[in-house]
Amino acid sequence: MLKKKSDANIASTIKLAQQMIRLAQNGDEYREDAGCGVLYGILLDSGYRILDLAQKEKQNHIEKGLWNESTKERILK
């Protein structure tokens, strides 16, 4: 469990974005029409954008010394 709320929120955002990416990939694999393709394409793009922003914010916190040292290795890359 993360001690700081800011760390926990960033970590949760990273996990959520990874779930979005997996869902989009799975959904696209089994889609039945073009509308589903659009939906999962948007979900995939959004997941990657959110993941990128969250990982950059995590790195900024680490560089500024704001990230809890004990959580650095436990949080996803």
Q: Dihedral of the CA atoms 3, 4, 6, 10 (nearest 10)?
A: -20
Q: What's the predicted TM-score (pTM) here? A: 0.81
Q: What is the pLDDT of residues 7-61, one digit of tens each?
A: 999 999 999 999 999 999 999 999 999 999 999 999 999 999 999 999 999 999 9
Predicted local confidence at residue 68, as pLDDT: 78
| Domain parsing of the chain, residue ranges | 23-62
Distance between CA atoms of 40 and 46, rounded to whole angstroms?
A: 10
Check pLDDT > 70 for residue 74: no
HSE (side-chain half, CA atoms, 13 Å) at 14: 17
Predicted local confidence at residue 23, as pLDDT: 97
Distance between CA atoms of 33 and 37, rounded to whole angstroms?
A: 7
